[in-house]
Structure 1
Amino acid sequence: MQEFVPGTLAINADPLSRADLHRVGGMVRAIHDASTTYVPPDDAVWETAIPAPASELVCHNDLAPWNLLVGDRWMFIDWDAAAPSTRLWDLAYSAQAFTLSDPSQDPSLAADDLSAFVDGYQPDDHMRRLLPDTMAERTAAMYNMLRASHDAGKEPWASMFTAGHGDHWSSADNYVRTHRNTWLEAL
């Protein structure tokens, strides 16, 4: 079923408040929980730009501000990268994309945003401890995919790498890694 839902992409809207980030974390959790009941057919073919470390459930794989529609109803769009992954890998990407994408932001403020987002997801303590390192791995994977695509001429990633996405993900990766202990303490 398809329907038109009016709204604005979160990346083009006012910055999300901590309450909004908490809400989005809860949305990510609801998507993951709903996905646990889906069993893909044995012959399913998945096309994903960044392979996941395991196949726990089918995830969106791009839950980010550029794919969240906000308005009267909030919803994630652009499901073309959906494929088997893990809760942790998908959460790491979305938590980083929503809260740690601006390397110029004071890390203590970013940590408060991260905490609000992750609290909305309600992960267990084990997942919270793994999240900072997994965010670093996932952010590096995004940069490496863009770089390899650029080197191989694989579109649309090759053009995105040179149009600023490579620099963005390199800076984001450095920010996530540099402040790992700040993120861990916040979680």
Structure 2
Amino acid sequence: MGMKAATGEEVALRGGRTTPGIVRVGDTVRRPRQANHRFVRHLLEHLAASGFDGVPRHLGQDEAGREIFSFIEGDVPDELGFISDDALHDAATLIRRFHDLGADLAAASQVGAEVICHNDLSPCNFVFRAEIPVAMIDFDATAPGTRAWDLGYAAWLWLDLGSTDVAPAAQRRRLDLFADAYGDIATPTILGATMERQETLAMEARRQGKRDMADWAMHCLHWTRRHAVDLE
């Protein structure tokens, strides 16, 4: 995720798909302030008070106005790829804990919200140790929402749905594993949300002129729709 930084020395973080300007300073991470920084701070403080160690701690801001977070040791992938069953299981249980602990904040923030959604639950936003996810990072898109909305995106990227490297039958088994590890949600519900997230990303990327991303999302959507019966 990044080489060790001496006290006061700024070292650009590697791994993941980082927001520009993120650096490590000693045992902290400094990030440019985002529009939702107050909400993120409130969420992380709430999770810390609940004893949840699967997210960084918010430590304030520095003299440059950047947000300060605790640094979590481990590796952050910079690309999607095949994830083991053990890692898939632990990712789902970690997401479930995150959702459950934020549910009361969600209810207080927005009518009808079930949980606080991370909204970008890619493996590239998780810290791994020994190839197992132990924490999630990057809360720039965090907002109240539904479990299915967050899980649909997570399942898409953790299973790499749309890749021709894994057969639909194998992906069905892995989807069931993911749903069972999370608990209290059916595979078809997650799959429906996955297709919604794929279509949404394709449209947003096209509006933003990100043609490669739009084409990739549409490819994934077409693959998922084509194999939906096998996946459910």
Above 0.5 in TM-score? yes
More strand by percentage: 2
For residue 122 of structure 1, report the CA deviation from its aligned partner: 0.9
Take 1:12 and 1:40, find their aligned partners in 2: how far apart are those partners? 34
Structure 2 stretches lacking a partner, 5+ long: 1-57, 59-68
Larger radius of gyration: 2
Q: Paired residues, what number?
A: 161
Partner of 2:121: 63
Take 2:82 and 2:128, find their aligned partners in 1: how far apart are those partners? 11
Which shifted more, 72-81 or 137-146? Answer: 72-81
How well do the aligned residues superpose, as a CA RMSD in angstroms? 2.4
More helix by percentage: 1
For residue 80 of structure 1, report the CA deviation from its aligned partner: 0.4
Output one character per residue of 1:1-35: Cα deviation in whole Å (capped at 9) or x when no partner: 22112222245597421121011111111111011
1:178 and 2:226 equivalent? yes
Alignment equivalent of 1:74, drawn from 105, 110, 134: 134
For residue 40 of structure 1, report the CA deviation from its aligned partner: 7.8
Partner of 2:73: 6
Take 1:170 and 1:182, find their aligned partners in 2: how far apart are those partners? 19
- Counterpart amino acid of residue 91 in structure 1: L
For residue 100 of structure 1, report the CA deviation from its aligned partner: 3.4
1:116 and 2:116 equivalent? no
Residue pairs, 1:29-40, within 5 angstroms? 29-38=96-105
Task: Check whether the contact 1:102–1:172 (CA below 8 A) recurs between aligned residues.
Answer: yes
Output one character per residue of 1:54-75: Cα deviation in whole Å (capped at 9) or x when no partner: 6333210111111111016711
For residue 107 of structure 1, report the CA deviation from its aligned partner: 1.2
Task: Check whether the contact 2:126–2:135 (CA below 8 A) recurs between aligned residues.
Answer: yes
Which shifted more, 66-75 or 27-36? Answer: 66-75
Distance 1:94 1:39, change over 3 A: closer
Residue pairs, 1:70-149, within 5 angstroms? 70-71=128-129, 74-104=134-164, 105-124=166-185, 127-149=186-208
Hey, which bits of structure 1, 4+ residues long, moved more than 6 A? none
Task: Check whether the contact 1:19–1:116 (CA below 8 A) recurs between aligned residues.
Answer: no
- Counterpart amino acid of residue 134 in structure 1: A
Output one character per residue of 1:20-53: Cα deviation in whole Å (capped at 9) or x when no partner: 10111111111110111225876x9xxxxxxxxx
TM-score by length of 2: 0.62
For residue 131 of structure 1, report the CA deviation from its aligned partner: 2.3
- Counterpart amino acid of residue 123 in structure 1: D
Output one character per residue of 1:73-100: Cα deviation in whole Å (capped at 9) or x when no partner: 7111110000111011111111111113
The SS at the match of 2:127 is strand
Percent sequence identity is 25
Task: Check whether the contact 1:100–1:114 (CA below 8 A) recurs between aligned residues.
Answer: no
